[in-house]
Amino acid sequence: YAYRDSSGALEVTLDPVETGFSVVVRDDGTWLERAAGDGEAGGLGIPLMEAVTRRFEISSSEDGTTVRLDFPLIRESAEPLDA
């Protein structure tokens, strides 16, 4: 998506933090805005990011696009939760 009809670099980093981890994806491409009138037909990427992350950010400029995804740390409990 980043480069449409050409190729280019993609950088992905994973940073652990105490409360989870962050994934940052960077490229030198441009963000593809949804065309007016597309409604909900634009795809599943952003709704999926909203559903599975604690927070996400998309920033785009003429120098490229950065997407940051913050995921919570999920710990399994040794004891079952009381219902």
Please give the model's pTM, rounded to 2 decimal places.
0.72
Structure confidence by residue, pLDDT tens digits, 11-59: 999 999 888 999 999 998 877 766 555 555 567 888 899 999 999 999 9
Of 67 and 33, the structure prediction assigns the larger pLDDT to 67
Cα separation, 10 vs 2, whole angstroms: 9
User: How much is the pLDDT for 38?
Assistant: 53
Q: Which H helix or E strand runs over 47?
A: helix 45-52
How do beta strands 55-61 and 20-27 pair?
Answer: unpaired
CA angle (55 as vertex; 82, 72 as ends), nearest 5: 40
